[in-house]
């Protein structure tokens, strides 16, 4: 039951994020409607259809409540989760930052399909709380047992950043891609700032 609520909540969160992007795009469309009209409108249509897809996914979750068989991490933000051709869910990888020096792994609480991860335009790094160096993110099949968790707030921002990265990766129009890349960078910076703040707290 709890797992379902979490999944629904993460879908709703994605919808809220998409609606914010929609607002931005509509502002762009209004500002230079003549110039970028076609591409912006295409992006708006695509986001609208993503929002509808999520509605359907939420309905499915509610309809099938109690039938969820495979365990999912309860608080994961899932990106690109969708049924594959055979109706089975496409497997998700865990997004982590690994410190080989301290032999620690920071799990982000975000899961993403490998295809999407590999299509991302930007590899991002995070300053390590154990050794102070920057480590790149990785997608791993198994969340390691010994791990440190990212703060929830940072996880939320990182999820938004990643979602924008995914949109940037699939945007055909350079202007739209740039818009998403900029949003992804901004969210990522917020994620890093919150993570730094969380780690600066005593205890
Ligand atoms: Zn490190």
pLDDT tens digits, 136-161: 999 999 877 777 888 888 998 999 99
Same domain for 80 and 53: no
User: Measuring CA to CA, how many Å separate 158 from each of 59, 84, 91, 164, 190?
Assistant: 26, 25, 20, 10, 8
Looking at the structure of the chain, the number of domains it has is 2
Q: Would you say residue 101 has pLDDT above 70?
A: yes
Give the pLDDT of residue 34.
61
Q: Would you say residue 36 has pLDDT above 70?
A: no
From 39, 66, 93, the end of a domain falls on 66
Cα-to-centroid distance, 165 and ligand 1 (Å): 24
Same domain for 80 and 9: no
Distance CA 76, CA 54 (A): 16
Cα-to-centroid distance, 143 and ligand 1 (Å): 17
Distance CA 191, CA 180 (A): 16
Cα-to-centroid distance, 87 and ligand 1 (Å): 39
Distance CA 9, CA 12 (A): 5
Cα-to-centroid distance, 130 and ligand 1 (Å): 5
Mapped onto helix, strand or coil, the DSSP state of residue 131 is coil
Same domain for 138 and 40: no
- CB contact at 8 A, 128 and 150: no
Between 37 and 38, the more confident residue is 38
| Tokens describing residue 104 | 């620690």
From 50, 66, 82, the end of a domain falls on 66
Same domain for 166 and 88: yes
Give the pLDDT of residue 109.
87
Same domain for 165 and 95: yes
Same domain for 76 and 62: no
Same domain for 52 and 104: no
Cα-to-centroid distance, 192 and ligand 1 (Å): 15
Cα-to-centroid distance, 81 and ligand 1 (Å): 30
- Token match 């499915």: residue? 60
Give the pLDDT of residue 73.
43
Mapped onto helix, strand or coil, the DSSP state of residue 116 is helix
pLDDT band at 1 (very low <50, low <70, confident <90, very high): very low
Give the pLDDT of residue 75.
58
Q: Which residues surround ligand 1, an ion (CB under 5 A)?
A: 99, 101, 128, 130-131
Distance CA 42, CA 29 (A): 11
Cα-to-centroid distance, 135 and ligand 1 (Å): 7
Cα-to-centroid distance, 166 and ligand 1 (Å): 26
Average pLDDT over residues 85-98: 84
> What would the pLDDT profile of 166-198 be if each residue is shown by its tens digit?
999 988 899 999 999 999 999 999 999 999 888
Same domain for 78 and 39: no
Q: Is 109 exposed, middle or buried (0-12, 13-18, 19+ CB in 10 A)?
A: buried
| Range with the largest mean pLDDT of 21-35, 49-63, 83-97, 176-190 | 176-190
Distance CA 143, CA 74 (A): 13
Give the pLDDT of residue 166.
92
- Token match 């991002």: residue? 124
Same domain for 178 and 126: yes
- CB contact at 8 A, 190 and 103: no
Cα-to-centroid distance, 83 and ligand 1 (Å): 36
From 14, 38, 66, the end of a domain falls on 66
Give the pLDDT of residue 3.
59
Same domain for 162 and 123: yes
Residue 20 domain boundaries: 1-66
């Amino acid at each position: 039951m709890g797992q379902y609520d979490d999944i629904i909540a993460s879908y709703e969160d994605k919808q809220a994020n998409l609606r914010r992007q929609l607002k931005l795009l509509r502002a762009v469309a209004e500002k230079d409607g003549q110039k970028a009209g076609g591409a912006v409108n295409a992006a708006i249509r695509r986001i609208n259809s993503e929002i509808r897809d999520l509605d359907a996914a939420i309905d499915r979750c509610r309809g099938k409540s109690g039938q969820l068989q495979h365990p999912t991490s309860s608080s994961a933000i899932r990106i690109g989760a969708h049924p594959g051709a055979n109706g089975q869910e496409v497997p998700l990888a865990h997004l982590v930052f690994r410190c080989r020096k301290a032999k620690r792994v920071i799990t982000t609480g975000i899961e993403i399909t490998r295809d999407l991860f590999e299509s991302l335009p930007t590899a991002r790094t995070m300053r390590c709380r154990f050794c102070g160096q920057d480590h790149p993110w990785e997608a791993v099949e198994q969340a390691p047992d010994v791990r440190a968790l990212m703060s929830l707030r940072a996880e939320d921002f990182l999820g938004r950043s990643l979602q924008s990265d995914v949109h940037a990766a699939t945007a055909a129009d350079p202007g739209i891609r740039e818009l998403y890349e900029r949003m992804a960078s901004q969210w990522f910076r917020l994620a890093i700032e919150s993570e730094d703040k969380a780690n600066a707290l005593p205890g």
